[in-house]
Amino acid sequence: MIAGILSLIGAAVCLVLGLVFPWMKVPIIVGLSYGLAALGVAVLMRAGQVSFGHAMYSCVAGYTVAFLSRAYPALDGLLLVLAGIVAALVAGAIIGLFVVRYREIFFGMLNLALSMVLYSVLGKFYEITGGTDGLRLERPPFAGLRLDRPGYETALLVTALLASLALGTLVQRYFGSAAGEALAGIKTNETRLEYLGMSARRILWNGYMISAGLCGLAGALVVLLQGLVTPELGYWVRSGEFVFIAILGGSAHALGAFIGAVVFQVIQLVGTMLLAGTWKMLLGATLIIVILVAPTGITGVLPIKRWSRSRERKLSLQPVTGKS
């Protein structure tokens, strides 16, 4: 309950800030997209798996939006977002079939390797993808309206907020559902899960699709906001940022990803002011400190578990069973 109220208050604050200070709309939308993508990564973290390549789904969705919008400039922004999500889901379904066979280090690094392939392919095929310069797109109509820049940004902000609220709630429901509990079971004891008659691969594949879709939505929103897509959207640094936010926020509650995104934005702001081009070392230091001090992240430390309806259970990344 309290988590829900907190989310609503957070969304209202975002909306008011965006409307009162128009310059804040862009950072808020970018922050929400980071939160959505990190939520996707956090879904897999429930299963104990960390993907270092999920920015590739943002990239897939972003390029789908750009290609479609350039081919059919009259296409609605909302439809473009949907198309981006579908593309990310399809890519996730196919790649997922392959990567769900692996766990832990292999899982993480295979995702990283595949995202590096996508990144370099996008950079090389200049004729189709515009190379490292990327593709520009005109501002599409949104929800049937032709909007000017401020109106368009407000529309995107509202869409991002509504999507974050809805998907955050849905993901939290998923965590508490039988499928979500089974997903967490992959981390605690996969063999026992199989003995219960469930296919761990299938469960992880479902979770993988959810995470790919969320990252796709994040990518589509950012591309529509910037009117530009470049391979950078799928660069490993971005995947690393998603992982950073998800670890920081923790996977105990869906809210964590968004809290993590806010902290990430603050670190980025402070870091670029103090360290300019080398602010990533601040990310690295924070990551190490979080893992050493609070490996369950912000939502693991806060009593947020009691606020939500999901039952009290062990959700840390540490193994519950004794491993030698």
Q: Which residues contact other proteins by CB under 8 A?
A: 48-50, 52, 98, 101-102, 104-106, 108-110, 112-114, 116-117, 120-121, 124-125, 191-192, 236, 240, 243, 247, 275, 277-281, 283-288, 291-292, 295, 317-319, 323-324
Per the listing, tokens 């105990």 go with 252
Q: What are the CA-CA distances from residue 271 to residues 45, 107, 218, 257 (Å)?
A: 27, 31, 23, 20
145: β partners? 142
DSSP-derived pairing of the beta strands 228-229 and 135-136: antiparallel
Q: How far apart are CA 60 and CA 63, in angstroms?
A: 5
Q: Least distance from C-beta 280 to other proteins, angstroms?
A: 5
Judged by beta carbon, residue 3 or residue 243, the one nearer other proteins is 243
Q: How far apart are CA 316 and CA 300, in angstroms?
A: 7
Q: Least distance from C-beta 311 to other proteins, angstroms?
A: 23
What 3-state class would DSSP assign to 101? coil
Judged by beta carbon, residue 18 or residue 48, the one nearer other proteins is 48
Q: Least distance from C-beta 312 to other proteins, angstroms?
A: 21
Length of the chain: 324
Q: Could you tell me which of 51, 26, 57 has the C-alpha nearest to residue 111?
A: 51
Judged by beta carbon, residue 144 or residue 191, the one nearer other proteins is 191
Judged by beta carbon, residue 82 or residue 116, the one nearer other proteins is 116
Q: Least distance from C-beta 255 to other proteins, angstroms?
A: 21
Judged by beta carbon, residue 26 or residue 114, the one nearer other proteins is 114
Q: How far apart are CA 112 and CA 169, in angstroms?
A: 29
Q: Least distance from C-beta 318 to other proteins, angstroms?
A: 6
